[in-house]
Amino acid sequence: MTDERSDAVYAYLLQLQQQLCSTFEGDAGSGQFVLDEWQRPGSDHTIGGRGITAVQEQGSVMERAGVALSDVRGSKLPPAATERNPQLTGRSYRAMGVSVVMHPRNPHAPTSHMNVRFFNAGDVWWFGGGFDLTPSLPYAEDCVTWHSAAREACAPFHAGLYDHTRAHCDEYFKLKHRGETRGIGGIFYDDMNEQTPQFGMSWEQCFAFMRSVGQHYHEAYQQIIARRHATPYGERERAYQLYRRGRYVEFNLVFDRGTLFGLQSGGRTDAILMSMPAVAHWAYQSPDAELDAALLPYLTTMKGHDWLAST
């Protein structure tokens, strides 16, 4: 893998970070991102890297928002990477990506996550990423907007790519110990390269797909936030939002491979954990059975629901 290709991906990721910060500093976020630019020297035994962690705290729309850019190198892959690819054990690597988590203040506005990443280890390379939506108070209209964007992001590449990445998203973002998905899904893909079964693409096509995912996430989430951020709410809805945020934390700490990769590879802990909400609650029992009845079908029996049947 040439440095020119890796550098082209990094240039795009920097542009994507800047675009997202610009949008969600304005009316869609109403708060300022603080930029923390960092560099770490490398050696034969330690990781070297660079990046910019952009975090917004206590905005009027976003209670917490993070857009983190990283480009790290290491002499040995951590277990989170080699578990699925044992043939790469012991290899040096370069991994870069943009990770986004948005936690709106208003309980009617859903949390969102997006990640796009590129990895290479010598002659092996792949792209990964996707986006998913986690509402506390669900709206079918938002589900249609979200999955329409997901389908459109995939459409230019393979006819079956949306269905495949949507199913992968539902399976990955799942709290297995609770029998719930984390939210209403979206798309998710790993290890995308020329050898991917059914959906193998050239480096150029994979890079184009990365850009498509970033674009469609940006447009869809901006639309949903504009629709929901000013919806009136009270203490009941806020209490339920904080309770459901606890589920988000559970997933990130127990199952999320990106979190595990970052911590196992000696990354910057506070930057890795920026995906956590500013405030979350846990309770022995749900605080609101009626709101449970409205939300839980979206996370259980409606898993895989065809939101686009009439579009």
User: Residue length, the chain?
Assistant: 311
307 occurs within a structural domain: no
Q: Cα torsion for 202, 207, 211, 213, to the nearest 10°?
A: 60
pLDDT band at residue 81, thresholds of 50, 70 and 90?
A: low
Tell me the residue range of the domain where 42 lies. Answer: 3-299
Q: What SS3 state is found at 96? A: strand
Residue 45: pLDDT over 50: no
Nearest alpha-carbon partner for 104 in 161, 144, 65: 65
The DSSP line for 155-180 is TTT-TTHHHHHHHHHHHHSEETTTTE
Query: Would you state the pLDDT for residue 22?
Result: 94
Report the CATH number that the domain containing residue 53 is assigned in CATH.
3.40.1500.10
Query: Would you state the pLDDT for residue 283?
Result: 92
pLDDT, averaged across the chain? 90
Domain count within the chain = 1
Query: Would you state the pLDDT for residue 197?
Result: 84
Q: 0.85 cut: is pTM over it? A: yes
Residues marked as catalytic? 113
309 occurs within a structural domain: no
pLDDT band at residue 2, thresholds of 50, 70 and 90?
A: low
Backbone angles phi, psi at 224, to 5 degrees: -65, -40
Q: Cα separations (Å) of 277 from 65, 68, 122, 307? A: 9, 15, 37, 28
Q: Cα separations (Å) of 111 from 89, 103, 233, 247, 269? A: 35, 5, 16, 12, 22
305 occurs within a structural domain: no
Do the Cβ atoms of 263 and 231 come closer than 8 Å? no
At 151, list the tokens: 């389908």
132 occurs within a structural domain: yes
Query: Would you state the pLDDT for residue 256?
Result: 84
310 occurs within a structural domain: no
Q: Contacts for 81-89 with beta carbons within 8 Å, 24 or more apart?
A: 81/119, 81/261, 84/190, 84/191, 85/191, 88/121, 88/124
304 occurs within a structural domain: no
Total H helices, total E strands in the chain:
9, 9
106 occurs within a structural domain: yes
CA distance 162 to 148: 10
CA distance 283 to 234: 19
Query: Would you state the pLDDT for residue 311?
Result: 63
Query: Would you state the pLDDT for residue 84?
Result: 67
13 occurs within a structural domain: yes
Q: Between residues 61 and 260, which one has the greater pLDDT?
A: 61
Region 178-194: what's the mean pLDDT? 93
At 187, list the tokens: 């798309």
